[in-house]
């Protein structure tokens, strides 16, 4: 598990502007993150942009979940583990704020993926969900084969990317925001209140409710 934790270190927060805008093309309000450098790019040409790769896991109710679960939804993604006693509860409180902000919007979902699947079997996640007032489909806790989780973390979310922002983060601090086509549109530090506010605003932008 230690290797997996190390691989999920990522840097978030800070200012960044790298527009590829053309005056002749309408640019999206939010950037895309399409390779392991996690460089934000604004472009209207989305055909070749990275999308979260196919995967198969199960949720806290032992129901199969794959990449198609993300299609048509604005999805907030984090990596966590059920026995975490320090960082994960703080991160979860921020996600609860996000969930509350969009409780009436079925287009928005939260997905928390366990990085300790050998311990976090579906019954463990079901108990964790019950204790923390988490319910599917609005908020899914995923587990499964450790190799599958490692693959989707690295290939799907670039979770082993090098530090690129100047503010360090340990495992699980990073929150990913995906649009309805499984493209990465935002990265946030889940321990920072301002990033939580920005995440809520960006979700509203993607859903058109802003």
CATH at 188: 3.40.30.10
* Residue 173 banded pLDDT, cuts 50, 70, 90: confident
- Structurally, how many domains does the chain consist of? 1
Q: Nearest Cα to 43, choosing from 69, 25, 70, 16?
A: 25
Handedness of CA 149, 159, 28, 107 (dihedral sign): positive
Query: Structure pTM?
Result: 0.85
Most confident of 8-12, 93-97, 165-169: 93-97
Residue 2, CA distances (Å) to 7, 23, 57, 99 in order: 9, 47, 21, 30
The predicted-structure confidence for 91-135, as pLDDT tens digits, reads as follows: 899 999 999 999 999 999 999 999 999 999 999 999 999 999 999
**Residue from 167, 172, 166 nearest 190 by CA:** 172
pLDDT in tens, 107-118: 999 999 999 999
């Amino acid at each position: 598990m230690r290797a997996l934790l190390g691989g999920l270190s990522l840097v978030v927060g800070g200012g960044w502007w790298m527009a590829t805008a053309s005056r002749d093309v309408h640019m999206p309000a939010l950037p895309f993150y399409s390779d392991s450098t996690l460089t934000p790019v604004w472009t209207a040409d989305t055909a070749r942009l990275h999308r979260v790769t196919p995967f198969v896991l199960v949720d806290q109710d032992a129901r199969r979940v794959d990449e198609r679960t993300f299609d048509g939804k604005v999805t907030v993604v984090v990596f966590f583990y059920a026995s975490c006693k320090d960082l994960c509860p703080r991160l979860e409180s921020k996600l609860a704020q996000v969930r509350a902000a969009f409780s009436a919007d079925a287009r928005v979902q939260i997905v928390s993926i366990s990085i300790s699947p050998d311990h976090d079997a579906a019954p463990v996640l079901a108990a964790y969900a019950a204790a923390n007032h988490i319910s599917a489909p609005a908020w899914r806790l995923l587990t499964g084969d450790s190799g599958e989780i490692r693959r989707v973390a690295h290939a799907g979310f670039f979770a082993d990317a090098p530090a690129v922002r100047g503010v360090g983060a340990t495992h699980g601090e990073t929150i990913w925001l995906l649009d309805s086509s499984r493209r990465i549109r935002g990265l946030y530090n889940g321990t920072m209140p301002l990033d939580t506010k920005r995440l809520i605003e960006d979700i509203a932008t993607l859903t058109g409710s802003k």
